[in-house]
């Protein structure tokens, strides 16, 4: 099985070909979930997998599964893949590499006539990014039982279009109930989205888990007033309270360094006029840490910071936790398969924890799971400048191929 080689040039060609679907002027991709661009790339993917003899099905959250048969049809498939939706100004590699490397694995097995013990299945998850419909990893969350399908389908985009209606509109709703699709394992290849592998001169990250994440929506309310006629000591400036809260969120992360991170990434000021004291501010808070106990302490400090920032200014503040993903530990057997595959291929590898969320984090609740990271230039992601080289992408695809074959061999030994 070590003679099977992924085709680096072919993989790169598929990355560049699909990047044209929703391609931006600056070389990135805008392919939001359940848009026409998303429909087009899904149709392209189905055509490519069916040409290899795969059977393609969708579940009722639009998740695509392309199955290549194995010797044992009664054994659940080994799934490989990621997502093809992007940020509004996303790059060519986030998510796309994982799906297209999975396609390359299927092509390599097909050309070699190699028959695996278990079926091998490409998966394309719906709405990983959470850009059009929040929260992120919506379909994999339903798959893992974290969200109900009714709740997920009721999520609306900024224009008021629901996930369910958008899914129907592009014809991507399948008959299979989301989650009723057993897997023997899942391997997801992804760019690191951080600078560690590049900084350390390494080829592959064997991802052992994903750090915990909590998101909050916050509304700070004061009183809108004329900037010229309202004395400073009589103002209830909601933006001032929000600014103080931003500083406190930053301080919380620094107090739990080096592993903690925290961000205020979105803010809307109302009425947003040059000569009106802001009366209301909406903002989001993102807290992350790989240890559940530390993340819990960070939230306690955050809750205390709400009052500390706003009470002295006479402001009211409401915070709602909208997402809670506990830290995830991936399956040791799957991680060992990744690590062993990288070493067998001669790549420099290290264990690491993912700082970003991925569909694999939810899938890990219902199936043995691991991830493979490859470097990306400067650690830049969610950006049109995002880049991994042809050689780096090919290395990831080769490790994915070898890890699947290694895990398949282990499954056959278990009978």
- 185-202 tens-digit pLDDT: 999 999 999 999 999 999
Contact present, 263 and 382 (Cβ < 8 Å): no
Average pLDDT value for the chain: 97
- Phi, psi (5° rounding) for residue 226? -70, 130
Where do the domains of the chain lie?
Answer: 8-211+327-414, 212-325
Region 383-412 average pLDDT: 98
CATH number of 212-325: 3.30.70.360
- Taking the C-alpha atoms of residue 315 and residue 244, their distance in angstroms, rounded to an integer, is 12
- Taking the C-alpha atoms of residue 78 and residue 293, their distance in angstroms, rounded to an integer, is 33
Model pLDDT for residues 18-77, shown as the tens digit of each residue? 999 999 999 999 999 999 999 999 999 999 999 999 999 999 999 999 999 999 999 999
Contact present, 374 and 394 (Cβ < 8 Å): no
Q: Which pLDDT does position 1 carry in this prediction?
A: 53
Contacts of 380 (CB under 8 A, 6+ apart): 91, 386, 387
Contact present, 198 and 378 (Cβ < 8 Å): yes
Q: Which pLDDT does position 134 carry in this prediction?
A: 87
Model pLDDT for residues 86-99, shown as the tens digit of each residue? 999 999 999 999 99
CATH number of 8-211+327-414: 3.40.630.10
Q: Is 410 exposed, middle or buried (0-12, 13-18, 19+ CB in 10 A)?
A: middle
Contact present, 210 and 328 (Cβ < 8 Å): yes
């Amino acid at each position: 099985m070590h003679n099977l080689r992924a085709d680096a040039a072919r993989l790169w060609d598929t990355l560049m070909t699909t990047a044209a679907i929703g391609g931006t002027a600056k070389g990135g991709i805008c392919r939001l979930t359940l848009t026409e661009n998303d429909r087009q790339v899904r149709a392209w993917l189905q055509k490519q997998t069916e040409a290899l003899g795969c059977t393609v099905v969708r579940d009722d959250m639009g998740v695509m599964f392309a199955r290549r048969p194995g010797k044992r049809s009664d054994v659940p498939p080994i799934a490989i893949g990621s997502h093809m939706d992007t940020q509004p100004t996303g790059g060519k590699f986030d998510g796309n590499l994982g799906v297209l490397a999975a396609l390359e694995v299927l092509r390599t097995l097909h050309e070699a006539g190699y028959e695996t013990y278990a079926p091998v299945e490409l998966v394309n998850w719906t709405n990983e990014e959470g850009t059009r419909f929040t929260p992120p990893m919506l379909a994999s969350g339903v798959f893992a039982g974290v969200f109900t399908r009714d709740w997920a389908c009721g999520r609306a985009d900024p224009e008021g279009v629901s996930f369910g209606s958008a899914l129907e509109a592009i014809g991507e709703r399948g008959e299979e109930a989301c989650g009723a699709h057993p897997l023997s394992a899942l391997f997801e290849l992804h760019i690191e989205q951080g600078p560690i592998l590049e900084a350390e001169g390494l080829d592959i990250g064997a991802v052992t888990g994903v750090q915990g994440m909590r998101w909050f929506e916050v509304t700070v309310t004061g009183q809108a007033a004329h900037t010229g006629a309202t004395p400073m000591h009589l103002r209830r400036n909601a933006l001032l309270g929000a600014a103080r809260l931003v500083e406190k969120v930053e301080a919380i992360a620094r107090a739990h360094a080096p592993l903690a991170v925290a961000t205020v990434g979105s803010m809307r000021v109302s009425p947003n006029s040059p000569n009106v004291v802001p009366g209301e501010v909406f903002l989001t808070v993102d807290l992350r840490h790989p240890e559940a106990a530390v993340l819990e302490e960070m939230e306690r400090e955050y809750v205390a910071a709400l009052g500390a920032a706003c009470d002295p200014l006479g402001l009211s503040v409401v915070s709602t936790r909208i997402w809670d993903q506990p830290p995830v530990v991936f399956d040791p057997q799957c991680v060992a398969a990744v690590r062993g595959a990288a070493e067998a291929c001669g790549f420099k590898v290290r264990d690491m924890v993912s700082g970003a969320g991925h569909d694999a984090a939810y899938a890990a609740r219902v199936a043995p799971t691991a991830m493979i990271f490859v470097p990306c230039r400067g650690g830049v992601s969610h950006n049109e400048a995002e880049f991994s080289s042809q050689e780096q992408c090919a290395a990831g695809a080769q490790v994915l191929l070898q890890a699947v074959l290694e895990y398949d061999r282990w499954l056959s030994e278990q009978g």
